Amino acid sequence: MLAQVLGAERERFLLGEKNTYIIEGNWPAGAKMEVRLDGHQISAKLVSGEKEEELSRSEEAVRLLGEKKKITMELPEGWEKAHKLAVYAMENGQKNVWFRIPVRELKRKQKTPQFYLDQEVIDAKTGRIHLSGWTVSRGPVKIALFDREKKKIPCRISRSARPDVAGMYEECEVAADCGFTLDASDLSGDAVYLVFAGKDGKNVYPISLKTPVILKNKVEKYARKGLSYWRTHGTEAFVSKTAGKLRSLKDRPMEYEKWFRLHAADKKELERERKEVFVYQPLISIVVPLYNTPEPFLQALIDSITAQTYGNFELCLADGSTDGKTAAFVERRYGSDPRIRLKRLEVNGGISENTNAAIRMATGEFLMFSDHDDFLEPNALYEMVKALNEDRSLDLIYTDEDLCDEKGEHYFSPRMKPDFNPDFLRSINYICHLVMVRRSLAEEAGLLRKECDGAQDYDFLLRCIEKTDRIHHIPKVLYHWRASETSTAGNQDSKNYAIEAGKKALTEHYARLGYEAEVEYTGIFILYKMRLKVKGEPLVTILIPNKDQVETLDTCLKSIYEKTDYLNFEIVIVENNSEKAETFAYYEKMKMEHENLHVVYYQGGFNYSAINNFGARHAKGEYLLLLNNDTEVISPFWIREMVGFCQRGDTGAVGAKLYYPDGLVQHCGVVVGIANFAGHVQNFHTSQDAGYFGRLKAVQDISAVTAACMLVKKSVFDAIGGFDESFVVSLNDVDLCLRIREAGKLIVQDPNVELYHYESKSRGYENTPEKKERFKEEILRFRRRWKTFLDQGDPYYSPNLSLMNGECELRREKEVPVEWKKLFSHGEEAEK
């Protein structure tokens, strides 16, 4: 069996010390420790873990969860011949297993380099794999992929910083690029081998390309074998054996249902909420239109409302059913509850009119909307009112949601939403459920419109955000959307009319804002793309820094001149110390051919920020289009579309979607906080992938975009002082975007604007000691400047999603921010 981890969080060998083994985790408060190797006791030290601010706990938490401890042990000579290592916690006369691992597994972990895969995506049918993780050794680690015949397989490997890993390995200088992603396609055979090679040896990880056996089949297989094992070895051995086999699947992606039940309020918390008395206790009117609702669905909804831990509500039911069965059921089962009000409608007016009838019944200060066949978590109203007690000015509050099966027994497809994101809402109704609106706002915006039936809630929300920005997001799954055959969550026919209604709502929304918009349906339910008509034809200055690389620059310029459908632009090439005569000859040739191309000469050493600031001073355009020389335009409308968004008064900059030459996504927005500084989100996907919640296809607001292709208002760029020149190479664009956001302007990420990016052709990768050291210093500077932002979290990225990478996976319980002074041997000095 593999390691049996009961209280441990992570365990490893000390790099460079083949017999020193370390285990970290929650140790039972006050318990004594005993470590045994095949029953023989060995010595070990139990010390307190790091007292990081993020790990501070109440006395109750310490009692229940234990204390952070680190166990360090020296394994005796010849330990490799043993069979099992176990750590016991002894308390109250009892001896409990805290950690246990077979020695064969220990020997595997002892190999160097050490590695871990955060993500492993294998498509056996197409022969494509995507891996991400980290690897460390006492020196550089080479990564390669081999087939069974030990032939090297071509693959794309990208290295990245992993400061969280650096925090684990205090005993060595971990390279800035210990993180990696690997992509390979068109693989054949039944297996390939991932090899990590360092100066102290190598580690091989086999990857099966066979179609995986589903978990159910594995469990059945283990059960059949286990019966025979139990008869021979007894109950205790059977339980241990079976648990070990199942635990071998632990690296599969976390199942959402398990995650949800872990994070949902438990009975103790719900009881505490029922006893809490808020200072501000607004009446909430829950409005629900009914239409021939199946009794089990309606009962589940009403029961979930009457079970709420906040009790000051009224349920307003407007029944447009074709017969009296629905109303009779409500009266029979809930007639004695004065909070439940029912009105039989003379005529079924459709979803909008029926909902409006329910709204007119309401007397509460706030309206909460629910479908008739869904249900709420018991603390949904409590969380809403809690938010209002923290800020009474809020006009609109929404939560996360998921889907459930028709029986309401299984949950899936969670929508972990960002904080208020107006452009994302204009691409897709991401707010959807659960939403609560101040009644006075609903009256000001106007109630639901029959002509938008199918997308009536979308139309309503768009009109609401035209009237207020006091909008709050609760990042908790508090609503379960039933995917039944009659709902838009589960029925294609019910989606078609909703698509057209959504296009109408969005087009009219932009018209009310004063913009002419072309709205198209993407084919992804219900996701729209739009193009705002440019007012006038403002001049755009394209700034391209360059040093030699004539062939690369020529590809870039040709794509601009041959593909761009927007004519009013100029190109300013910022020459930075080129050494080849052919480069300057090329400049002269291009200036002769294009009157709108200019070359300015920056005399200093390479400093990306200073070079672009210098170029901006020579720009005549109303907009600056920052562009790397190693890019190639794909979309003819790229400038026109970016200007369309950037011309809005609330917008400061617009970013694009960039691809590697093989068509995989290189950039579609930056999440601040990934790896404890910033990282691209959902890269290495194909151009067809919609991404998590459609974010690879949806226009959206975001905290930062790459300056490899970024359009920015020159007035905004000048107002904030341009790039900070202390960021010589890295994070200068993220810093620029955050300062634009700090100035009150939006950063828009537009995935419809597409370019190729031949990344790092000019500068090369961060693979020398000098570059790595500079990169570390810039990370520290960035973290110092944006500490508050990092502590609060990126508002456009859900706190329920992992920051270990940009894959939008569910956040794991063991993700703890690293203490950054451990990253460098001179960390404390650097922080000063």
DSSP string, 179-217: EEEEEE-S--SSEEEEEEEETTEEEEEEEE-SPPPPHHH
Average pLDDT across the chain, whole number:
85
What are 728-738's pLDDT values in tens digits? 999 999 999 99
Q: How confident is the model at residue 167 (pLDDT cuts 50, 70, 90)?
A: low
DSSP-assigned beta bridge partners for residue 20: 74
Asked if residue 327 has pLDDT above 50, the reply is yes
Q: How confident is the model at residue 112 (pLDDT cuts 50, 70, 90)?
A: confident
Note whether 684 and 748 are within 8 A (CB). Answer: no
What would the mean pLDDT of 447-472 be, rounded to a whole number? 96
At 201 the pLDDT is 81
Q: How confident is the model at residue 55 (pLDDT cuts 50, 70, 90)?
A: very low
At 213 the pLDDT is 44
pTM score above 0.85: no
Q: How confident is the model at residue 164 (pLDDT cuts 50, 70, 90)?
A: low
Q: 112-208: which CATH architecture?
A: Sandwich (2.60)
Q: How confident is the model at residue 215 (pLDDT cuts 50, 70, 90)?
A: very low
Q: For 68-90, give the DSSP string.
A: EEEEEEEPPTTGGG--EEEEEEE
Residues 811, 800: Cα–Cα separation, whole Å = 5
At 276 the pLDDT is 96
- As a dihedral over the C-alpha atoms of residue 384, residue 386, residue 387, residue 390, rounded to 10 degrees, the angle is 160
Q: How confident is the model at residue 49 (pLDDT cuts 50, 70, 90)?
A: low
Nearest to 715 by CA among 832, 633, 616: 616
Domains 267-490 and 540-797 alike in fold:
yes
Residue 520 CB-density burial (10 A; 0-12 exposed, 13-18 middle, 19+ buried): exposed
Residues 40, 560: Cα–Cα separation, whole Å = 73
Inter-CA distances, 39 with 62, 98, 123, 236, 716, Å: 30, 15, 44, 17, 70
Q: How confident is the model at residue 9 (pLDDT cuts 50, 70, 90)?
A: low
Asked if residue 357 has pLDDT above 70, the reply is yes
Q: What distance, in Å, lies between the first and last C-alpha atoms of the chain?
A: 48
What are 657-710's pLDDT values in tens digits? 999 988 889 999 999 999 889 999 998 888 888 999 999 999 999 999 999 999
Q: Which DSSP letter does residue 527 get?
A: B
Identify the CATH homologous superfamily for domain 540-797. Spore Coat Polysaccharide Biosynthesis Protein SpsA; Chain A (3.90.550.10)
Of 193-197, 262-266, 480-484, 599-603, give the lowest mean pLDDT range: 480-484
Asked if residue 516 has pLDDT above 60, the reply is yes
Asked if residue 810 has pLDDT above 50, the reply is yes
Q: How confident is the model at residue 786 (pLDDT cuts 50, 70, 90)?
A: very high
At 774 the pLDDT is 82
Residues 572, 673: Cα–Cα separation, whole Å = 33
Residues 389, 262: Cα–Cα separation, whole Å = 26
At 532 the pLDDT is 96
Asked if residue 174 has pLDDT above 70, the reply is no
Q: For 626-656, give the DSSP string.
A: EE-TTEEE--TTHHHHHHHHHTSTTEEEEEE
Asked if residue 217 has pLDDT above 80, the reply is no
User: Count H helices, E strands: the chain?
Assistant: 24, 39
At 247 the pLDDT is 37
Q: How confident is the model at residue 484 (pLDDT cuts 50, 70, 90)?
A: low
Q: 4-109: which CATH architecture?
A: Sandwich (2.60)
Residues 163, 169: Cα–Cα separation, whole Å = 10
What would the mean pLDDT of 192-209 be, rounded to a whole number? 87
207: phi then psi, degrees, rounded to nearest 5: -125, 115
- Please report, rounded to a whole number, the percentage of residues in the chain having pLDDT higher than 90: 59
Q: How confident is the model at residue 713 (pLDDT cuts 50, 70, 90)?
A: very high
What tokens appear for 619 in the block? 């720009």
What would the mean pLDDT of 135-139 be, rounded to a whole number? 84
Q: Token pair 């190598």 is at which residue?
A: 202
What would the mean pLDDT of 714-723 be, rounded to a whole number? 98
117 vs 701 pLDDT, higher one: 701
Identify the CATH homologous superfamily for domain 267-490. Spore Coat Polysaccharide Biosynthesis Protein SpsA; Chain A (3.90.550.10)
Q: Which helix (H) or strand (E) holds 91?
A: strand 84-91
Q: Which DSSP letter does residue 804 get?
A: S
Q: Is 485 helix (H, G, I), strand (E, B) or coil?
A: coil
What would the mean pLDDT of 115-139 be, rounded to a whole number? 81
Note whether 198 and 141 are within 8 A (CB). Answer: yes
Give me the residue spans of the domains in the chain: 4-109, 112-208, 216-247, 267-490, 540-797
At 642 the pLDDT is 98
- Please report, rounded to a whole number, the percentage of residues in the chain having pLDDT higher than 70: 85
Inter-CA distances, 727 with 223, 398, 780, Å: 59, 38, 11
At 236 the pLDDT is 42
What are 574-592's pLDDT values in tens digits? 999 999 999 999 999 999 9
